[in-house]
A and B are shown apart, each in its own frame.
Chain A
Amino acid sequence: MNTVKLLAVFAENRPGQAARVTGILARANINIRCVTVASSGTFGVMKLLVNDPDLACSTLQHEGFAATLTDVIAVEMPDKPGALHSVAECLADHDINLANTSGFVANNRAILVVEVQDSTRAGDILKEHGFHVLTQEETMAV
């Protein structure tokens, strides 16, 4: 597998909503590696990279949240100038459009989380070009 599951949660844009989500995940002993929030007026969508996406998703759904999992790719880059460019260029060469993208740096390793139309194909292409595409377990071990 060269894709990882990203958790997406619908939340209203008002105080305390993110805290409710993170509180539920904390009680379920879920570890969060990376989080982004995209807001659109009165609501937002939180996206989280977690150690156990299936458990996290079902726990939130059980609490009444609209939550879902999407396949994304997590690719490791050297933490130096031009690294993101090389990934973007590789995908552009194969006519792959980057949708939502975020990243994190931990222990001197830089991880880019990319949502694309066909993540399996994008993962294969990046691998062929020598990039390290991480598995779910690997993202948590960074």
Chain B
Amino acid sequence: MFWHQEMETLARPALESLQLERLRDTVRRLERVPFYRAKFRESGVTPEAIKSAADIRRLPFTTAADLRENYPDKLLAIPRDEVMRLHTTSGSTGKPKAVFFSKRDVDTAADLIARALCMTGVTRRDVFQNMMSYGLFTGGLVMHYGAEKVGCMVIPAGPGTSERQLLLMQDFGTSVIHILPSYALYFADFLEKKGVDPRKSLALRKAFVGAEAHTEETKRKIEAALGLDVYNSYGLTEMNGPGVAFECEGKCGMHLWEDNFVLEIINPKTCEPAGEGETGELVLTSINREAMPLLRYRTRDLTSLISEPCPCGRTHRRIRRITGRSDDMLIVRGVNIFPQQIERVLMAMPQIGRNYLILLEGLDEMTVKVELSPAAFDGEVGHVADLQNEVAEKLRAELWLRPKVDLVASGSLPIAEGKAKRVIDRRSL
């Protein structure tokens, strides 16, 4: 199903010329922003100089640090009284990043969500329970507006209080949820403990998960535990929030809406374009935003491009699952490790639970804490010790470094309220 079939299936040449036109227009509008004006002067770039898609490389990068330095409103490209909404990032690493929306931006963001929901078969008959945090986090309101646009009945449940979530699902026949992957795993555990079989007593059929990088194994675990289809989604506050890229029914890579964003994948060290299909950092330029367009924004998210056409007919290219953030990488005893590598190993083992914690302590000691699944316990201390060794051995094979593994009781690891915090670094290096 299509929300905006013409745009979603626009032939590549037409799509690319639309991109070029919008990019040029964006550069023109950004000349009002002192930060960009200074950069353009420095490099001598003018809107007229953008003649082909490749010319985007003549434009400056924008980084997270630039957004923080220009906090609160120095990157605003429209008069303040035309701003209709403000969202910010969590600011966990210092000053938050402020992102503004005009009236048209709010509508466009909702439109992109509507496209995404539609392409997985969500209709106005669906009941959409948004279990993401409302407030400054875009996962709440932006998704909410999109689901309303489709015509779903939207339940702004927010996260947490699983008892109440379940009650809403039962009483109002929730069929679609939007949820953090870590919370989906926790919620599945909660249902299991309550003795609720979601296949029998709930009407759930689809889940949109996002806002946290997660693995294919995690996705499959959520699908199996909740008995529904999980669709991966990608977005970031700086680019409207959710709705930048979503999976279609094929569930094979996320279509990135190229009429709204110009995508590049670069080698984060050299800043040169990554090779065909090669993993690199995703760089996005918003070409259809009014309040605060950003040029070549360094997302820090690592992915690769699928250039082959998708059987669904959409011409917007797909990106693969985010494999990590270039700044998530841990260096332990000289080895580069992404938390997702650990997650992939753990999620493929049914004997252990869904929650985990990576602890870095002392002089580069890595401990992975995982919960023993009650169903896997047969009373034999030796078997538990064997399992602990097996986890450590599988991790060693994946990481080339053998971490210490601690099996802990089910439910004893902390549950995240918002984005899950999986790594605690207390090293005294």
* Contact segment of A62-70, A74-82, A116-124, A129-137: A62-70
What's the interface size class on A, roughly?
A: 20 to 34
How distant is B269 from chain A, measured CB to nearest CB, in Å? 39
What's the interface size class on B, roughly?
A: 20 to 34
Contact present for A67 and B377 (CB under 8 Å): yes
- The contact of A65 among B193, B374, B379, B381, by CB within 8 Å, is B374
Contact present for B381 and A45 (CB under 8 Å): yes
Contact present for A66 and B377 (CB under 8 Å): yes
A42-B408, A66-B409 known; 5 other A-B pairs, CB under 8 Å? A11-B409, A40-B381, A66-B373, A66-B410, A68-B379
User: In the complex the two chains form, what is the Cα distance from A45 to B385 in whole Å?
Assistant: 11
Contact present for A44 and B409 (CB under 8 Å): no
8 Å CB interface, A52-89 against B: 61, 64-70
- The contact of B372 among A10, A40, A44, A47, by CB within 8 Å, is A10
Q: Could you show 25 A-B contacts with beta carbons less than 8 Å apart?
A: A8-B377, A8-B378, A10-B372, A10-B377, A11-B409, A12-B408, A12-B409, A39-B381, A40-B382, A40-B384, A40-B385, A43-B384, A43-B388, A43-B406, A43-B407, A45-B379, A61-B374, A64-B193, A64-B374, A66-B372, A66-B373, A66-B376, A67-B377, A68-B379, A70-B379
Residues of A contacting B96 with CB < 8 Å? none
Contact present for A64 and B377 (CB under 8 Å): no
Name the residue on B nearest A10 (C-beta): B377
Known: A40-B385, A61-B374, A66-B374. A45 touches B409 (CB 8 A): no
- The contact of A64 among B379, B381, B382, B410, by CB within 8 Å, is B410
User: In the complex the two chains form, what is the Cα distance from A6 to B409 in whole Å?
Assistant: 20
Name the residue on A nearest B406 (C-beta): A42
User: In the complex the two chains form, what is the Cα distance from A11 to B377 in whole Å?
Assistant: 11
Interface residues of B (CB under 8 A from A): 193, 372-374, 376-382, 384-385, 388, 406-412
Residues of B contacting A8 with CB < 8 Å? 377-380
Residues of B contacting A65 with CB < 8 Å? 374, 409-410
**Which one of A68, A69, A70 has the greatest number of beta carbons of chain B within 10 Å?**
A68
Contact present for A10 and B384 (CB under 8 Å): yes
**Which one of A8, A41, A42 has the greatest number of beta carbons of chain B within 10 Å?**
A42
Residues of B contacting A40 with CB < 8 Å? 381-382, 384-385
| Cβ of A38 under 8 Å from chain B | yes
Name the residue on A nearest B404 (C-beta): A42
Contact present for B378 and A68 (CB under 8 Å): yes
Known: A61-B374, A67-B374. A10 touches B380 (CB 8 A): no
How distant is B181 from chain A, measured CB to nearest CB, in Å? 22
Contact present for B384 and A45 (CB under 8 Å): yes
